[in-house]
């Protein structure tokens, strides 16, 4: 029983960076922008988050953990959103190819994260690490409620970012299905020309969705640095998480609700082998780590063959809209 | 509504597509984009408290000044150019193959198999030949699977090829940690290749550099002057036109991706047999992704790719030098490459489109407009 509960908790903790990346990318792709820069934006968010927290700690005598945590979230969001802004400017305004721009953003962001992570480390004398108060703020569950047996551990023991991620996913789901603006955004992603004719500001929608989506991805990167790596900048720490998030968008078939399930299932898959005691050796566990990608390929094939319109990629995804090109 | 309409009635500036820019002027814009990127990069260097000019000069010195440096730079450029060439036919067909990374790895694994287990059986030149063929076949297989699914069922190739990268890299890690692990080491790694499995050198660099230069010429002619190259362009421009003209689109997609995968697989063979003499999870090391930018920025022109891949190789090698000389982290290469790629992508806008300002339009109206 305890093992099961421990496993479920570990799955949620491991799935949360996927959740941020996936929901961020869903919002982006819903506007018709296939931003392959998720990995890069996660790096940017990660390094900006730890830099923000670190500089705050250095600036005061008695740093408060919660303040550092909030600064980290804001810095991560803003920095990654700036990366997404560059992407939007190039693809929406300057009409550059989306695939190539996204890949370039990943190259840039990966370099950016590792470069400034190392510069920061040199400055801090070796490697950069946040204070224990800040680490505490990133690991503590909901006070009081988390002490309830079983339920407390299962539902209330997580750090605040887990709840923030779930909240964002739920809000995004409501936004897409229940608000006028959300429906407009979906229209932009499906057929920008129709949306344009209906009086929707396509450019504004694309910019906003891509930047907000990118910022959310950035929080996922910061989660990796602050929670997974416990507040230390580790070289190449994002290490493919962004690409899994891109894959999870398909797994979730562009729905934030299914992104919740998908992220935690993938989180579970990535930690399952520590709980199953399969007796895997090093080599077998490497093969095991490939499982999420194989699952994604199968999902891709099934959705591709079924050609279901409800569960398909937004129709204009990957294509730029140019009003005069009709 | 009326007010808003009036406001938009005469925009300050409008954008039109153009295709009339002379090639020389277009290249001036591209060079300006690189200069702009170097200025932005210089500002980053300046913010770290270094003189950008001396850092850039050091990069050039570190990558080109001595023979050893030049050899290393060419070694970086060879797989980059080869992979860019591999991607080109697929991209020309608008098949977004971002799986070159995995196709390189597939080729490298297959070539390594023969290098590790057949070097005693096969005589030298034959061993190399078998490795080459194995690499090409494995790369081709890894490339054609997504193509078949795309051609038959319309499965999204961008994400399919992307996932295939991680699957094959995971498979490599499996080999490295288990079946192919070097005996008697604590750290899981694969043994170095026997001398017989290593490519010979010409002018200090493995013969791969000649191969990719030949391939550059071949690819140029293949795309420009052969029937197959023509079919690729037509499918890329409009699938319906291709169908109307009686082309078998599925066949073109599958055939082109075999070519793309085969070349990537050969690049994988060149890396393990010519440069690294072993296999590890970083054998493809992001080359598949960077090469996409190389191919695209060269506008899929093979000859231009030579310069762009050389340029990125200089950046990459130079960044190692500035790490030792200035204590600037070598990740600077990623930052600078990213800035340059993004600026060049932005620069293409000014080649393909023209901005027309309001007052300018008025002035030119009497002449009867400028768009023909």
Per the CB < 8 Å rule, is A108 touching B349? no
Question: Is A228 buried (19+), middle (13-18) or exposed (0-12) by CB count in 10 A?
Answer: middle
Q: Within a domain: residue A259?
A: no
Q: Within a domain: residue A59?
A: yes
Q: Within a domain: residue A290?
A: no
The torsion angle over the Cα atoms of residues B221, B227, B232 and B237, rounded to 10 degrees, is 110
pTM to 2 decimals?
Answer: 0.88
Candidates B16, B159, B352; nearest CB to A250: B159
The torsion angle over the Cα atoms of residues B226, B228, B233 and B236, rounded to 10 degrees, is -170
Q: Give residue B368's pLDDT band: very low, low, confident or very high (50, 70, 90).
A: very low
pLDDT digits (tens, 9 = 90+) for B316-349: 899 888 888 888 888 888 898 899 889 988 988 8
Q: Give residue B9's pLDDT band: very low, low, confident or very high (50, 70, 90).
A: low
Q: What pLDDT shows up at residue A198? A: 92
Number of neighbours of residue A191 by Cβ within 10 angstroms: 17
Which ranges of A31-178 does DSSP label H, i.e. alpha helix?
38-59, 65-88, 98-124, 132-137, 151-156, 160-178
Candidates B329, B335, B352; nearest CB to A108: B335
pLDDT digits (tens, 9 = 90+) for A188-206: 999 999 999 999 999 999 9
Q: Within a domain: residue A121?
A: yes
The total of structural domains in chain A comes to 1
Q: How far is A122 from chain B (nearest CA, A)?
A: 9
The contacts found for A308-312 with CB under 8 angstroms, 24 or more apart, are A311/A253, A311/A254, A312/A253, A312/A254
Q: Within a domain: residue A6?
A: no
Q: Within a domain: residue A292?
A: no
Distances in Å between the Cα of A117 and the Cα atoms of A38, A217, A233, B160, B240 are 18, 18, 6, 32, 49
Q: Within a domain: residue A244?
A: no
ipTM summary value: 0.87
Residues of chain B contacting residue A36, judged by C-beta atoms under 8 Å apart:
98, 158
pLDDT digits (tens, 9 = 90+) for B75-128: 999 999 999 999 999 999 988 888 999 999 999 999 999 998 888 888 878 999
Q: How far is A174 from chain B (nearest CA, A)?
A: 27
DSSP-assigned beta bridge partners for residue B201: B206
Q: What residues in chain A have per-residue pLDDT under 50?
A: none
Residue of A nearest to B171 (CA): A287
Residues of chain A contacting residue B48, judged by C-beta atoms under 8 Å apart:
119
| SS3 (DSSP) at B327 | coil
The contacts found for B227-230 with CB under 8 angstroms, 24 or more apart, are B228/B252, B228/B255, B229/B89
Q: Within a domain: residue A248?
A: no
Task: Domain of residue A132: give its range.
Answer: 17-239
Question: Dihedral sign, CA of B194, B200, B204, B205?
Answer: negative
User: What would the 3-class secondary structure string for A179-191 be?
Assistant: CHHHHHHHHHHHC
For B338, the token pair is: 């990213």
């Amino acid at each position: 029983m305890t093992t099961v509960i421990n496993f479920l908790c570990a799955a949620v903790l491991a799935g949360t960076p996927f959740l941020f990346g996936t929901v961020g990318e869903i919002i982006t792709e819903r506007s018709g922008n296939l931003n392959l820069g998720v990995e890069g934006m996660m790096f940017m968010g990660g390094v900006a988050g730890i830099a923000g927290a670190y500089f705050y700690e250095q600036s005061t005598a008695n740093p408060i953990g919660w303040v550092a945590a909030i600064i980290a979230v804001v810095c991560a969001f803003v920095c990654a959103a700036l990366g997404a802004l560059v992407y939007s400017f190039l693809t929406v305004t300057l009409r550059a190819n989306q695939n190539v721009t996204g890949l370039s953003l990943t190259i840039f962001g990966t370099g950016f994260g590792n470069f400034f992570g190392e510069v920061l480390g040199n400055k801090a004398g070796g490697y950069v690490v946040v204070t224990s108060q800040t680490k505490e703020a990133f690991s503590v569950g909901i006070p009081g409620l988390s002490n309830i047996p079983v339920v407390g551990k299962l539902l209330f023991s997580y750090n605040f970012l887990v709840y923030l991620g779930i909240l964002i996913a739920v809000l995004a789901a409501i936004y897409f299905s229940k608000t006028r603006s959300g429906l407009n955004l979906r229209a932009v992603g499906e057929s920008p020309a129709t949306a344009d004719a209906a009086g929707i500001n396509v450019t504004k929608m694309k910019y906003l969705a891509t930047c907000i989506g990118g910022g959310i991805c950035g929080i996922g990167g910061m989660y990796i640095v602050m929670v997974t790596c416990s507040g230390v900048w580790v070289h190449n720490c994002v290490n493919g998480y962004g690409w899994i998030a891109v894959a999870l968008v398909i797994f979730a078939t562009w729905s934030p609700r299914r992104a919740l399930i998908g992220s935690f299932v993938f989180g579970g898959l990535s930690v399952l082998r520590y709980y199953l005691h399969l007796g895997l050796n090093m080599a077998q566990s490497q093969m095991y780590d490939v499982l999420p990608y194989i699952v994604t390929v199968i999902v891709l094939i099934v959705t591709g063959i079924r050609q279901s319109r409800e569960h398909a990629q937004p129709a204009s995804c990957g294509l730029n809209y140019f009003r005069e090109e009709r | 509504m009326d007010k808003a309409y009036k406001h938009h009635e005469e925009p300050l500036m409008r954008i039109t597509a153009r295709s009339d820019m002379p090639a020389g002027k277009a290249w001036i814009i591209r060079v300006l984009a690189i200069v702009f990127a170097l200025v932005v990069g210089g500002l980053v260097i300046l913010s770290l408290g270094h003189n950008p000019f001396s850092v850039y000069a050091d990069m050039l010195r570190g990558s080109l000044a001595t023979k050893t440096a030049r050899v290393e730079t060419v070694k970086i450029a060879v797989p980059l150019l080869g992979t860019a060439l591999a991607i080109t036919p697929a991209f020309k067909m608008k098949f977004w193959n971002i799986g070159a990374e995995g196709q390189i790895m597939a080729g490298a694994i297959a070539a390594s198999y023969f290098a590790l287990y057949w070097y005693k059986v096969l005589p030298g030149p034959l061993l190399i030949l078998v490795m080459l063929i194995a690499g090409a076949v494995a790369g081709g297989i890894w490339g054609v699977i997504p193509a078949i699914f795309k051609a038959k069922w319309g499965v999204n190739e961008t994400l399919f090829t992307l996932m295939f990268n991680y699957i094959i890299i995971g498979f490599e890690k499996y080999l490295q940690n288990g079946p192919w692990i070097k005996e008697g080491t604590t750290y899981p790694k694969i043994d170095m290749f026997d001398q017989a499995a290593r490519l010979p050198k010409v002018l200090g660099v493995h013969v791969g550099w000649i191969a990719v230069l030949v391939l550059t010429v071949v690819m140029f002619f293949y795309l420009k002057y052969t029937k197959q190259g023509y079919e690729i362009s037509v499918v890329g421009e409009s699938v319906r036109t291709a169908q109307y003209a009686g082309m078998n689109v599925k066949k073109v997609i599958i055939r082109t991706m075999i070519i793309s995968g085969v070349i990537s697989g050969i690049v994988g063979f060149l890396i393990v047999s010519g440069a690294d003499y072993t296999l590890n999870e970083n054998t493809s090391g992001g080359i598949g992704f960077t090469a996409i930018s190389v191919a695209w920025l060269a506008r899929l022109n093979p000859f231009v790719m030579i310069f762009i891949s050389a340029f990125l190789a200089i950046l990459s090698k130079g960044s190692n030098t500035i790490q030792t000389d200035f204590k600037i982290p070598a990740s600077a290469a990623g930052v600078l490459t990213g800035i340059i790629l993004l600026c060049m992508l932005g620069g293409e806008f000014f080649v393909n489109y023209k901005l027309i300002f309001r007052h300018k339009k008025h002035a030119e109206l009497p002449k009867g407009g400028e768009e023909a």
